Amino acid sequence: MEIDNEFRNYIRPLSNEEFEKLEASILSEGIRDPLVIWQGILLDGYHRYKIAQEHGLEYKTVEVELPDRDAAKEWILVNQLGRRNLTEQEASYYRGKLYESRKLNHGGDRKSTGNNFPLKNTADTIGDEYGVTGRTVKNDAQFSKAVDKVAIEIGEEAKQAILLGKAGVPKERVEQLIDIKQKAPEFIEPILKGNIGLQEALKAIKKIEREKEIEETLAEIESNAFTPPSKKYDVIVIDPPWPYGTDYDPDGRRSASPYPEMSLEDIKAIQLPSANDCVLWLWTTHKFMRYSFDILDSWGFRDVAILTWVKNRMGLGSWLRSQSEFCIMAIKGHPKVNLTNQTTVIYGEMREHSRKPDEFYKLVDSLCVGYKIDWFSREKREGWDQYGAEYDKFVGN
């Protein structure tokens, strides 16, 4: 008797408990049902045949007449669908395989004809046979294809875990197991055993990827220390990455910082390429206002005014909801400043995290003259040099 591996893969496997019960029954009562063969190839009775071989038991066979190999495959699928103990996933898988088999043999999902009967396509016909809709049958076909892909990429144990319902993977998301296998293979076994859900695993993988990205970014920053430009600047705008104590997240989650933070000591240690006569604009918030003046002292600047940016909507706040941000105007030496009627308030729209309003730069351009640099800048601006948000990039004009 021949065992055909392709045919064998269509047969529903037994769990260890099911196999042990079948073995105990056969050892007690013998093999009562005959094994089904076609042209010497076993079609039904694989488990009974295995037990017979292991224990030297007798068995009977019955031959079925089928026109070809495709008909033999369909016979197996129909026989499997007739079992009473199929899981929902198994029934879906076999319906899908049956649909693909019939569609291939009939030259597509064509409608069948009959006297005085409405035309029906292959999916609807199978749906009527098994009490589901034609649309469900077509979805079953997609599911069966996905399961077969998983079997190829991950292994038969993954296929069986899905079909037996051990792995809590929605049918429409089965192929995501392949992505997980490639990105984080350590999650496959817990998913297949039902110890972790697919969505939970995907979230964990995303977190791992984010942490890895952060580590790589920080390593790149550390290994590419910024070399200040050779020229000196008459005007410097700086928006330091103040140490709020939040996690760095390049994706910009609301509760995290989209850039790595610096300690107050590291900020104080920044060597600004300032001219002897220079205007400095230091952005800060209420939390770090008290530290800003000490930092200005260490940089050799003295404060002369505080500009308040009134935003168009409220932000967060522990005691009061914040709707403002501050920029300290400080000078060194005797810089050239075009005196105007500018007040200590500007109004501007709140946009991306830490991005300052265009109204601010218009104000600085109108007041200050000379070479300008935007330190820790998040965008390129005409007439300004930039030191980028990545902290290791200098863009000059």
Confidence of residue 229 (pLDDT cuts 50, 70, 90): low
Average pLDDT on 15-34 reads 89
- pTM for the whole structure: 0.56
Instruction: Tell me the per-residue pLDDT of 73-87, one tens digit each, with 9 for 90 and over.
Output: 999 999 999 988 889
- Longest alpha-carbon distance in the chain: 108
Which residue type sits at 3? I
Most confident range, picked from 102-111, 223-232, 259-268, 301-310? 301-310
Structure tokens at 280: 């400095």
CA distance 322 to 310: 10
Cα 263 to Cα 227, 288, 327, 330: the distances in Å are 20, 12, 19, 21
Closest by CA position to 78, among listed 89, 67, 94, 96: 94
Check pLDDT > 90 for residue 252.
no
CA distance 273 to 188: 53
Confidence of residue 106 (pLDDT cuts 50, 70, 90): low
Check pLDDT > 90 for residue 298.
yes
Paired sense of beta strands 35-38 and 41-44, if any: antiparallel
Range 233-395 has CATH code 3.30.70.1340: no
Q: What percent of the chain has pLDDT over 90?
A: 56
Q: Using CA atoms of 170, 173, 175, 177 in order, give the dihedral in degrees to the nearest 10.
A: -70
Cross-sheet strand order for the sheet of 41-44: 41-44, 35-38, 61-63
Domain boundaries, given as residue ranges, for the chain: 5-201, 233-395
Check pLDDT > 50 for residue 52.
yes
